Amino acid sequence: MNRALAALLAGAACIGLSPIFVRLSEAGPTATAFWRVALAVAPLWLLWLLREPRGGGRYAGRWLLLGAAGLAFAGDLAFWHLAISYTSVANSTLLANLASIFVTLAAWLFLRQRPTPLFLAGLAAALLGVALLVRTSLEFSPTALMGDALGVVTAAFYAAYIFAVKALRDRGETTLGLMAMTTTLTAALLFPVALASGDTLLPGTLWGWGVLLGVALVSHAAGQGLIAYALAHLPAAFSAVTLLLQPVLAALFAWLLLGEALVALQLAGGAIVLAGIYLARRGSL
């Protein structure tokens, strides 16, 4: 239990660092999203070869589900990295964490799973918090509002990714195998997008390559892997609440490392968004 909790907290911290790496990157936001997964492909496949048995994973629709997961994760990363470049780290990360609310809304619309009153209360609180965050962005710059919108789009893509991954795990896919395959597919999808975007594709210094290695190995491979390990050993409700540390840590890192302080209205909006997500998750479990 203690090892799993440590893994969960460490994973949340690793992912909380990802927007810092994006801000520091010498490559453009979409190119950084590509390198984030491309540089993690080899280590993930190596871990899979060393730690997991071969075989299995043969069922109808496997590659369709894997393709859907790769496409959804590519959209998630591309839009989130753009959001980080337009708005504050705190806003982009908080809004991306609305994914859990989108998951329940999709289940309501497509699977006819009626939401609980607690979820609806959480949804209302989250929307109020989002309104306060948007109000804060309007006071900064027009691009901040665009970044907030991209953060919401990020949440929708991540919700689709969660659905695809759940379907794959229900069919017996292992954590490492799933991460290796979806990371490879995501890199293949993001490469032409990065080329077409006109982003600076290659960093110009060793520092720039170090930042890309950081976002790939620390935030993606280590962060996602630690959380996947922890989720297999901790109660779902406890894990869901603890993972709300991600946007809190991201905002803290942005303040300490980038000098990006939070104003009072932004603090209030962020707190209300987190409370809304917490209630929505409790009402969805």
Tokens of 116: 């609980």
Task: Examine the pLDDT at 203 and tell me if it is beyond 90.
Answer: yes
| Residue of 58 and 194 predicted with greater confidence | 194
What does the H/E/C string look like for 10-41? HHHHHHHCHHHHHHHCCCCHHHHHHHHHHHHH
Q: What is d(CA 263, CA 60) in angstroms, rounded to the nearest whole number?
A: 51
Give the separation between CA 45 and CA 12, rounded to whole angstroms. 23
How far apart are alpha carbons 278 and 125 in whole angstroms? 10
> pLDDT per residue over 12-47, tens digit each?
899 999 999 999 999 999 999 999 999 999 999 998
**What is the dihedral sign for C-alpha 199, 205, 208, 213?**
positive
| Lookup result for tokens 């794959």 | 168
Total Cβ atoms within 10 A of residue 75: 22
Q: For residue 38, which amino acid is it?
A: A
Instruction: Name the band, by pLDDT with cuts 50, 70 and 90, for residue 53.
Output: low
How many helices and strands (H and E) does the chain possess? 14, 0
Residue 11 has pLDDT above 80, yes or no: yes
The whole-angstrom separation of Cα 46 and Cα 64 is 24
Query: Would you state the structure tokens that stand for residue 218, as one six-digit string?
Result: 């620390």
Over residues 89-96, the mean pLDDT reads: 89
Interval 2-15 mean pLDDT: 86
**Which residues, at least 6 apart from 131, have a Cβ–Cβ distance to it below 8 Å?**
269
Tokens 């010498």, residue located: 26
Between 41 and 62, the higher pLDDT residue: 41
When mean pLDDT is compared across 52-56, 84-88, 164-168, the lowest value belongs to 52-56
Mean pLDDT, the chain, integer: 86
The amino acid occupying position 28 is G
- pLDDT grade for 164, boundaries at 50, 70 and 90: confident
Of 188-192, 194-198, 278-282, the poorest mean pLDDT is in: 278-282
Tokens 């520092």, residue? 207
pLDDT score, position 123: 82
Query: What Å distances lie between residue 25 and 18, 48, 146, 199, 213, CA to CA?
Result: 11, 28, 21, 12, 10
Angle of helix 99-111 relative to helix 264-282, nearest 10 degrees?
A: 40
Rounded CA separation 149/79 (Å): 10
What is the arithmetic mean of pLDDT over 157-169?
86
Which amino acid type is present at position 162? I
Looking at residue 279, its pLDDT comes to 82
Pick from 210, 258, 245, 250: which is nearest to 26 by CA?
Answer: 210
User: pTM of whole model > 0.85?
Assistant: yes
For the chain, what is the largest distance between any 2 Cα atoms, rounded to a whole number of angstroms?
55
CA R_g for the chain: 18
Q: Does position 120 have pLDDT exceeding 90, yes or no?
A: no
**Is pLDDT of 174 > 60?**
yes
Percentage above 90 pLDDT, the chain: 36
Mean pLDDT of 262-277: 85
**DSSP H or E stretch at residue 77:** helix 62-86
- For the stretch 224-244, pLDDT in tens is 888 877 776 776 656 666 667
